[in-house]
Amino acid sequence: MAASLQLNARHFSPSFQPFHSSSTKSSKPNLVRCSAATHSSKRSYKITLLPGDGIGPEVISVAKDVLVLAASFEGIKFEFREMLLGGAALDATGVPLPDETLAVSKESDAVLLGAIGGYKWDKNEKRLKPETGLLQIREGLKVFANLRPATVFPQLVDASTLKREVAEGVDLMVVRELTGGIYFGKPRGFGTNENGEETGFNTEIYAKHEIDRITRVAFEIARKRRGKLCSVDKSNVLEASMFWRRRVQEISAEYPDIELSHMYVDNAAMQLVRYPKQFDTIVTNNIFGDILSDEASMITGSIGMLPSASLGDSGPGLFEPIHGSAPDIAGQDKANPCATVLSAAMLLRYGLGEDKAADRIENAVLDTLNKGFRTGDIHSAGTKLVGCKQLGEEIMKSVDSQAPAVV
């Protein structure tokens, strides 16, 4: 399933102690988000849960149960704190990211997020939108690298909108820069041009260190995958992209074993639906990564299957499904929990270095699909339509039975 990858060791220095810490040790080892590394000797972790809005609480509930069960087989214990984010936080506290949510998240070993947003808050001013809370927590945790695997599950290849021969075997990773670029660049705002006409404007800007660090993460990931990295930019038009390409090229000298290529974003968007198997690891900026990773997700058939991990240099990683809060199906037990369950597996693998428990979860998801269980978004003739809760129960049974996946 998810490719193995190696990221840097991190140091952890807590400054805030809101967790009940009866079972945690006072000194924490460096954790290595690395499937090749041996796992940390620490076997008790603080996890912050941010269920959010819409289907968020439904999928987080399933993922939490699966996480606890899979980890218990490896002797791992968790302390959970559930905190408010997004619309739920707005309703309860008046802001989309309460200070306490950020403080507890920062103090934990990893953060598992459901989804935020909904019709109710759509007309709020920007600082009071659920989405603002999401951007704020990513910024607050300083998670600059967003890893989005797009893997076509053999069992779901016919759910892809692409022809079987195009979709089959696709296994790529989009590494998206998450805390810079046009989503954060200044100046930004609304104004009036020289003709007196109203305008809206944003700034695409990258500093050298921002490009260098995401590029190194991407090279490390490519090294643990199939050794190919494609950097996507728009350097035929944008100065920020010209600089991006120059930095990526320069950093590539540190990775002579990795095959580096460059592609303009318009071509990359086209190649993803023409011949997606050509890609192994893609590295790109915030806005291009946002769009391309959603496009890549559709190759796999359902947005409900895809996890993501957001990592920084230090501190906890943020793990979340790539889908939104799906208000159209919220509260109806129709949500596919797999993306969040697989995000929990990424949390174990890349956040805690607990590969065995991660393998157990990923195998259980494959096993459950092999048995034919499907939520509505991935249902097809001949498979068993179940709700979010039942799919979760089936995944739990597979975790419990240790059934090896037949892929």
Ligand X SMILES: NC(=O)c1ccc[n+]([C@@H]2O[C@H](COP(=O)([O-])OP(=O)(O)OC[C@H]3O[C@@H](n4cnc5c(N)ncnc54)[C@H](O)[C@@H]3O)[C@@H](O)[C@H]2O)c1
Q: Which residues bind ligand X (CB under 6 A)?
A: 55, 115-118, 131, 134, 303-304, 320, 323-329, 335-336, 339, 375, 377
Alpha helices for 85-124 (secondary structure H)? 87-93, 99-107
Q: Which of 171, 167, 166, 168 has the alpha carbon at shortest distance from 149?
A: 171
Nearer Cβ to ligand X (215/336): 336
Catalytic annotation present for 290: yes
Tokens 């080892």 found at: 29
Task: Count the neighbouring beta carbons within 10 Å of the beta carbon of residue 128.
Answer: 15
393 phi, psi to nearest 5 deg: -65, -40
Nearer Cβ to ligand X (290/355): 290
Distance CA 121, CA 208 (A): 37
CB of 14 to ligand X, least distance (A): 26
Task: Count the neighbouring beta carbons within 10 Å of the beta carbon of residue 227.
Answer: 14
> Pairing between strand 110-115 and 317-321?
parallel
Choose, from 64, 171, 183, 377, the residue flagged as catalytic: 183
CB of 345 to ligand X, least distance (A): 16
Nearer Cβ to ligand X (320/355): 320
Nearer Cβ to ligand X (55/345): 55
Catalytic annotation present for 255: no
Distance CA 58, CA 64 (A): 10
CB of 219 to ligand X, least distance (A): 26
Choose, from 109, 233, 290, 377, the residue flagged as catalytic: 290
Q: Quick check: 230 and 261 in contact, CB under 8 A?
A: yes
CB of 379 to ligand X, least distance (A): 10
CA angle, residues 297, 166, 266, in degrees to nearest 5? 60
CB of 249 to ligand X, least distance (A): 32
Catalytic annotation present for 234: yes
Nearer Cβ to ligand X (312/353): 312
Choose, from 294, 313, 333, 400, the residue flagged as catalytic: 294
Choose, from 42, 64, 129, 234, the residue flagged as catalytic: 234
Catalytic annotation present for 99: no
Q: State the catalytic residues.
A: 183, 234, 266, 290, 294
